[in-house]
Amino acid sequence: MVPQVAEKPKIDLIQEDVSLRSFTTWHVGGPARFFCQPKSTGQVKRAINFANEMGLDIKIIGNGSNLLVPDEGYDGLVIRLGSNLAETEINDRSINAAAGASLYKLADITNKAGSSCFNFLTGIPGTVGGGITMNAGAYGREISNYLKGVKYIDGQGEIHEYSHLPGSFDYRNSPFLDSEKIIVGAELKLDYTEDQPKMSEILESRRKKLPYSKPSAGSVFKNPTNCDKTAGELLDRAGAKGLTVGDAVVSHQHANFILNKGHATAKNIQNTIDILRNRVYKEFGVTLVTEVVVI
């Protein structure tokens, strides 16, 4: 008797063998075995069920602005929560935002409602889901400071509501990092008393300080907590600026940025990360930890 082979479940929102290069701001990386961009929470659940039936690992991405995908790709299911799942709604003192809404959109829509409390997120090229997962922040503020609640789906496809616990978030870290919890939406409080700089002023300041001429993933390393210097300052002192591996180069403008000059590979970037980490450790005895998520 010929053994029966289980057929792949048919699900229309799943694509196969999709290049991830165009879904990361570094513009590197190989294909995802399976890929989807759900338009609803229900579709996210369907995608999770598909992965469970197929025995696949799942990776959630947003704008891909903090992500290094290997050249070999990802042998699992990539779920991209982006503009297909980006609804926002303001209710007086709070805003409900889907995970795929951009952080820029969050700042913009609250400005139009009369609050500047999210202006600090201007210029951070991420999504609400990714911003909460990484606890995005700038200018002394973090998104968790405004978090009232999170809706997430677990690894079995069940929906949960999570009440924010301030102690569970810290610098570039959250309970959702490296977990099976997939954020699909959040409620954030609006503060109408804050007086942050205008979005245009913050954008102009970031353009002067940070390199935007070539593809990058923003700051590669977190600022160390056991040192009075930032990661960028340590890298600068270690002579990192201009270091080149293939088409990956450390920015002359900011030493914590690795740029893709055009044809960099993920391996080029990973080798650059390793060289930089080793230099700083040998020079200062400080071990830098990547802010960028490496699959």
Q: How far apart are CA 78 and CA 75, in angstroms?
A: 9
Residue of 143, 146, 149 whose CA lies nearest to 102 = 143
Q: Do 149 and 230 fall within a single domain?
A: no
Beta 88-91 vs 67-68: how paired, if at all?
A: unpaired
In a domain, residue 20? The reply is yes
As a whole number of Å, the CA-based R_g of the chain is 20
CA distance 20 to 28: 7
**Are both 79 and 92 inside the same structural domain?**
no
Choose, from 65, 116, 216, 291, the residue flagged as catalytic. 291
Q: Are 93 and 115 in contact (CB under 8 A)?
A: no
Distance CA(35)–CA(271), nearest Å, equals: 27
Q: Measured between alpha carbons, how far is 255 from 240 in angstroms, rounded to an integer?
A: 6
Distance CA 141, CA 137 (A): 5
Q: Is 219 a catalytic residue?
A: yes
Inside any domain, residue 3: no
Number of domains in the chain: 3
* Residue 7: inside a domain: no
- pLDDT value of residue 295: 86
Task: Among 61, 83, 105, identify where a domain stops.
Answer: 83
CA distance 61 to 127: 9
pLDDT for residue 8: 58
**Count of Cβ atoms closer than 10 Å to residue 2 Cβ:** 4
Q: Which residues contact 166 (CB under 8 A, 6 or more apart)?
A: 144
Cα(85)–Cα(3) distance, integer angstroms: 41
Residue 37 lies in a domain: yes
- Whether residues 169 and 100 share a domain: the answer is yes
Residue 136 pLDDT: 94
The answer to whether 295 and 67 are in contact (CB under 8 A) is: yes
- Residue 177 DSSP SS3: coil
pLDDT the model gives residue 180: 87
Note down the domain range covering 27. 15-83
Is the same domain home to 73 and 106?
no
Q: Which of 46, 80, 172, 279 does the annotation list as catalytic?
A: 172
- Mean pLDDT per block of 10 residues along the chain (295 residues) reads 48 92 96 97 95 96 94 97 95 94 96 95 94 92 94 92 76 86 95 94 91 93 93 97 98 97 98 98 97 91
**CB neighbour class for 5 (10 Å; exposed up to 12, middle 13-18, buried from 19):** exposed
249 and 243 Cβ atoms separated by less than 8 Å: yes
CATH of the domain at 58: 3.30.43.10
Which of 65, 216, 219, 251 does the annotation list as catalytic?
219
Q: Of 83, 102, 126, which marks where a domain is finished? A: 83
Where b means 16+ CB within 10 Å and e means fewer, 67-77 reads bbbbeebbebb
Give yes or no: residues 65 and 160 share one domain. Answer: no
Secondary structure E strands in 20-64: 31-36, 58-61
Q: Which CATH number covers residue 229?
A: 3.90.78.10
Residue 76 CA to residue 295 CA, distance in Å, equals 11
Q: What is the pLDDT of residue 12?
A: 82
Domain end among 189, 221, 246: 189
